[in-house]
Chain A
Amino acid sequence: MKSTQQSPGEVKEIEKKFVAMTTHPYLAKHIEKAEIDFDIIFFLQDIMKDARIDAVSKQEQILSALLVQAAFLTHENVYNKNLVNGTAKKPRQLTVLAGDFFSSLYYFMLVKNTHDDILPVFSSAIQRINEEKMSLHFAESQSEEELMNRLKVVEGGFLFDIASFYQQQEVGCLAETFFLLKRIKHEKQERDVKYLSAFASAIYAFHEGERKDEVTDWPTARTRSFLEAKEKELEEALVSQMDACAMQVTNTLYQRVENWLSGE
């Protein structure tokens, strides 16, 4: 497999466009701006490296995927807490609308230059992920394996589906493991959280036997040891997936993941 060194300029350009598209002056005043996930860019650049589409189309599809991810993350911040005060409601109202706004942008972006073939991949992935979110929300997992599989779909299923579309299943599997591990590391570090994320809430419910949105003890002893064990398992899995992948060590994605694993 040939090496694919992406130019930093290309990533910068995507970032610039993402910021321009997602910045709305009124939203910016009241809620946090959408964060770009650079790992998504690197994974998608690798997934699409052999695709028979031009550079502009690749960039548009990457931007669309970033917008979907921004919509997911934004809507994750809509909690169940009752808000009595009208002023306190505003950030929640705008969070709902910002997520919808990003979703409308991804569709807008994909149809602008007729990416008809990948549009159904996006929409079916979003449906599949929401189905899994529901199962996690209602704590339906009967085993740890089932729980992990659902969390994997929610965190990395979107990239997996895009990778499958481009016949890059190996990188898709790598993406699922990577993004799940990344989330576990993030949740493990969360302290003094009052409202659990949907991800943390699913793990909490599985281990503590009840679903809670508001907690004072995250991570509990049980959830902490679960997260630590899974972190270790996933790190090992990621390393063996990278070895198994026909990816050269000079590959940008390979280097990025390796650096991330070694904490650089």
Chain B
Amino acid sequence: MFLKSDINKIEKELERSVAAEHPVLKDASLHLLQAGGKRIRPVFVLLGAKFGNYDIERIKHIAVALELIHMASLVHDDVIDDAELRRGKRTIKAQWDNRVAMYTGDYIFAKAIEKAARFKNEDIHRIISQAMHEMCLGEIEQIRDQYNWDQSLKTYLRRIKRKTALLIAVSCQLGAVSAGAAPKEQSRLYHYGYNVGMSYQIIDDILDFTGTEKELGKPAGSDLLQGNITLPALYAIHKNEDAYQKMSHFIEGSKTKKDDVDSVIELVKNSGGIEYSKELSKKYLKKAYLSLEGLPDIPAKKSLSNIASYIGGRDH
């Protein structure tokens, strides 16, 4: 990819940013950084910035701020989920403990704000702070909606917007804002990111039913086991009374048998929920391509289009 050397710069800047004085704080942050991740948000920032005056030395700070926000939320998510592993590596809470995870997340979060504070641009701060605020609300609502078998499609869509699509949308938009791209282009990039993010999350939710444990790195149906009702399950609930009856027996705090989960997975697969979700995911992708149409024909546009195609074809 033509951004490789700039991504390396961001990687180095990320390492510099988490170089805390305290050795465990530094180790914990580096541990998280080295667990990798696709650095999808920085890529979107850089591609968005290509539509303006691209200056990597300036833009990298926005990319780093957004990745740090994402990282901080992951550290705290692992406390929330009581997770032992993330991307095959022990989580900070597992390697150390909850308190270390809380301090690390808070430290990284403050670091992200320090990075963003370099920009004397009101729009940048407004966009980041609103996104952070909404992401938090989304996470609270995700817990609120667990085991709520009567939730609506609108509730689900709002949740995945806040959980995934928003930070991707904002990454694309902020790249453009920080590079001084035209407002119309900033808006198109935001909508591209939003639609790609929605499509990405719906596919993730499909894979939770269709993927194998090996492919997913966790047992199939994990979302359901945690009471998270995703689109394929939501469709099945509305279309199949049997599915509704079975799923509503999954109650918070009780131990669900693997056989029961397997039988619900089959019900969801047979309900048409997977096909419906694929269709909706495609609709979002189509909107993402449409958002790109008005943008100037530069290599970054092709890259954004390729990313959308990759997301559309993702099967694990």
Contact = CB atoms under 8 A, between A and B. Distances in A.
A107 B113 contact: yes
B107 A111 contact: no
Interface stretch (A9-17, A92-100, A220-228, A248-256): A92-100
A183 to B, nearest CB: 17
A85 B253 contact: yes
A260 interface: no
Nearest to A114: B122
B106 interface: yes
Nearest to A71: B106
A24 B140 contact: yes
A108 B129 contact: yes
A97 B117 contact: no
Contacts of A78: 79, 98-99, 102
A240 B102 CA distance: 37
A123 interface: yes
The main secondary structure of chain A at its interface with chain B is: helix
Contacts of A38: none
B114 A104 contact: no
Interface in A76-106: 78-80, 82-83, 85-90, 92-94, 96-101, 103-105
Contacts of A134: 22, 24-25, 100, 103
Given A93-B143, A127-B107, A127-B114, A111 B100 contact: no
Size bracket of the A interface: 35 or more
Most buried by B among A82, A122, A127: A127
Contacts of B22: 131, 134-135
B120 interface: yes
Contacts of A137: 99-100, 103
B80 A120 contact: no
Given A108-B133, A134-B22, A137-B99, A127 B140 contact: no
Interface of B is mostly: helix
A130 B100 CA distance: 10
B86 to A, nearest CB: 16
B114 A96 contact: no
Nearest to B145: A26
A133 interface: yes
A198 B103 CA distance: 11
B65 to A, nearest CB: 11
Contacts of B111: 123, 127
Interface in B79-112: 79-80, 82, 97-100, 102-107, 109-111
Nearest to A140: B22
A126 interface: yes
Contacts of B227: 86
B110 A101 contact: no
B157 interface: no
A27 interface: yes
B76 A96 contact: yes
Contacts of B135: 104
B140 A97 contact: yes
Nearest to B21: A131
A119 interface: yes
A4 B18 CA distance: 42
B110 A83 contact: no
A108 B82 CA distance: 29
Contacts of B144: 26
Given A75-B106, A78-B99, A134-B103, A100 B114 contact: no
A217 interface: no
Contact of B109 (A83, A96, A103, A133): A103
Contact of B98 (A80, A90, A116, A135): A80
A99 B98 CA distance: 14
A127 B108 CA distance: 8
Given A88-B253, A126-B110, A131-B22, 8 more contacts: A24-B137, A97-B76, A97-B143, A116-B120, A119-B117, A120-B114, A123-B111, A134-B100
15 contacts: A97-B76, A97-B143, A101-B133, A103-B109, A104-B136, A108-B129, A116-B117, A123-B114, A123-B117, A124-B110, A124-B114, A130-B25, A134-B103, A137-B100, A138-B24
4 smallest CB-CB distances across A and B, nearest first, come from A111-B125, A87-B253, A126-B110, A130-B107
Interface of A: 24, 26-27, 71, 75, 78-80, 82-83, 85-90, 92-94, 96-101, 103-105, 107-108, 111-112, 114, 116, 119-120, 122-124, 126-127, 130-131, 133-135, 137-138, 198
